[in-house]
Amino acid sequence: MTLFCTWTPSQNRSKSCTVIIIILSSLTVITGVIMADYNLSSLGQDLQLTSPTTSEAHVLVINTGGTIGMTLHDNVLAPKPNAFVQSLRKLPILHDESYAICGSDNTLVLPMNKDNKRIIYTVMEYSPLLDSSNMTTDDWSQIGKDIEKNYQNFDGFVILHGTDTMAYTASALSFMCEHLGKPIILTGSQVPIYQVRTDGIDNLLGALLIAGQFVIPEVCLYFHNKLYRGNRVTKVDNRSFNAFSSPNLAPLANAAIDITINWDTVLRANTTAKFQVSTELNSNVGLLKLFPGITTATVRAFLQPPMQGVVLETYGSGNAPDNRPDLLEELKKATDAGVIIINCTQCLRGTVSMSYATGKVLIDAGVITGGDMTSEAALSKLCYVLAKKELSLDTKKKLMAQNLRGELSLDFADTKLCLSDSRFIQVIAQSLHISCKEELAAIRDALTPPLACAAAKIGDIEALEALKEMGSNLCLEDYDGRTPLHVAACEGHLNAVNYLLSHGATVYAKDRYGDTPLCNAVHYRHRDIVELLRQTRAHFSQDRLEELGRELCSLAASGDLEGLEIWSLAGADLMKPGYTGQTAIEVARAVGKHDVADWLSKLLRNKSETVVGGYYECDEYDDNGDESGGGMDDM
Which is more confidently placed, 272 or 39? 272
pLDDT at residue 33, as a whole number:
33
Separation of CA 356 from chain center: 38
Could you tell me if 366 and 506 lie in one domain? no
Q: Is residue 47 part of a domain?
A: no
Q: Is residue 260 part of a domain?
A: yes
**Sequence-ordered list of residues with C-beta below 8 angstroms from that of 478, at least 6 positions apart, any chain:** 449, 450, 453
Average pLDDT of span 192-198 = 93
- The answer to pTM > 0.85 is no
> The domain containing residue 469 runs over which residues?
2-41+418-535
pLDDT at residue 320, as a whole number:
95
Q: 346 burial class (0-12, 13-18, 19+ CB within 10 angstroms)?
A: middle
Which helix (H) or strand (E) covers residue 543, if one does? Answer: helix 542-557
Is 298 marked active-site?
no
Please identify which of the residues 31, 64, 67, 271 carries the catalytic annotation. 67
Could you tell me if 152 and 257 lie in one domain? yes
pLDDT at residue 273, as a whole number:
85
CATH number at residue 235: 3.40.50.1170
Of the residues 219, 253, 273, which one is the last residue of a structural domain? 273
pLDDT beyond 90 at 94? yes
pLDDT at residue 615, as a whole number:
53
Query: Is 163 marked as a binding-site residue?
Result: yes
- The answer to whether the beta carbons of residues 302 and 278 sit under 8 Å apart is no
Could you tell me if 80 and 226 lie in one domain? yes
Q: Is residue 51 part of a domain?
A: no
Could you tell me if 254 and 133 lie in one domain? yes
**DSSP annotation of 417:** P
3-state percent helix, strand, coil for the chain, nearest multiple of 5: 35, 20, 45
Residue 56: left if φ>0, alpha if ψ -120 to 50, beta else—which one? Answer: beta
Of the residues 401, 436, 470, which one is the last residue of a structural domain? 401
**Closest to 400 in 3D by CA, of 318, 234, 412, 391:** 391
Average pLDDT of span 559-586 = 92
Q: Is residue 472 part of a domain?
A: yes
Q: Count of domains in the chain?
A: 4
Separation of CA 355 from chain center: 36
Q: pLDDT grade, residue 470 (50/70/90)?
A: confident
- The answer to whether the beta carbons of residues 530 and 570 sit under 8 Å apart is yes
pLDDT beyond 70 at 458? yes
Q: 382 burial class (0-12, 13-18, 19+ CB within 10 angstroms)?
A: buried
Of the residues 215, 242, 273, which one is the last residue of a structural domain? 273
pLDDT beyond 80 at 356? no
Q: Give me the sign of the Cα torsion angle 455, 459, 462, 466.
A: positive
Q: Spell out where 322-471 has E strands.
A: 340-345, 368-369
**Mean model confidence pLDDT for the chain:** 84
Q: pLDDT over 90 for what percent of the chain?
A: 65
Could you tell me if 206 and 299 lie in one domain? no
Q: pLDDT grade, residue 43 (50/70/90)?
A: very low
Q: pLDDT grade, residue 516 (50/70/90)?
A: very high
- The answer to whether the beta carbons of residues 184 and 218 sit under 8 Å apart is yes
Could you tell me if 159 and 295 lie in one domain? no
pLDDT beyond 60 at 420? no
Query: Is 132 marked as a binding-site residue?
Result: yes
**Closest to 174 in 3D by CA, of 130, 143, 208, 206:** 143
Q: Is residue 630 part of a domain?
A: no
pLDDT beyond 80 at 358? no
Could you tell me if 555 and 530 lie in one domain? no
Could you tell me if 68 and 162 lie in one domain? yes
Treating both helix axes as pointing N-terminal to C-terminal, what angle do 542-557 and 594-603 enclose, rounded to 10 degrees?
140
Q: For the ranges 159-163, 437-441, 583-587, 607-611, which has the lowest average pLDDT?
A: 607-611
The 3-state DSSP class for residue 211 equals helix
Q: Is residue 410 part of a domain?
A: no
Could you tell me if 428 and 461 lie in one domain? yes
CATH number at residue 528: 1.25.40.20
Partners of 35 in beta bridges? none
Could you tell me if 505 and 577 lie in one domain? no
Q: Where are the alpha helices (DSSP H) in 402-526?
A: 423-431, 437-457, 461-469, 484-491, 494-502, 517-523
Number of Cβ within 10 Å of residue 188's Cβ equals 29
Number of Cβ within 10 Å of residue 12's Cβ equals 7
The amino acid sitting at 128 is P
Q: Is residue 224 part of a domain?
A: yes
- Which range has highest mean pLDDT (13-17, 47-51, 68-72, 390-394)? 390-394
Q: Is residue 618 part of a domain?
A: no
Could you tell me if 13 and 161 lie in one domain? no
pLDDT at residue 166, as a whole number:
98
Which helix (H) or strand (E) covers residue 127, if one does? Answer: strand 117-130
**Closest to 533 in 3D by CA, of 217, 277, 272:** 272
Q: For the ranges 335-349, 434-448, 494-508, 613-627, which has the lowest average pLDDT?
A: 613-627
Average pLDDT of span 584-589 = 93
> In this predicted model, what pLDDT tens digit does every residue of 73-86 receive, in sequence order?
888 888 888 899 99
Residues in the chain: 635
Could you tell me if 19 and 89 lie in one domain? no
Query: Is 164 marked as a binding-site residue?
Result: yes
CATH number at residue 298: 3.40.50.40
Is 122 marked active-site?
no
Which helix (H) or strand (E) covers residue 29, if one does? Answer: strand 28-34
pLDDT beyond 90 at 297? yes
Please identify which of the residues 64, 163, 345, 374 carries the catalytic annotation. 163
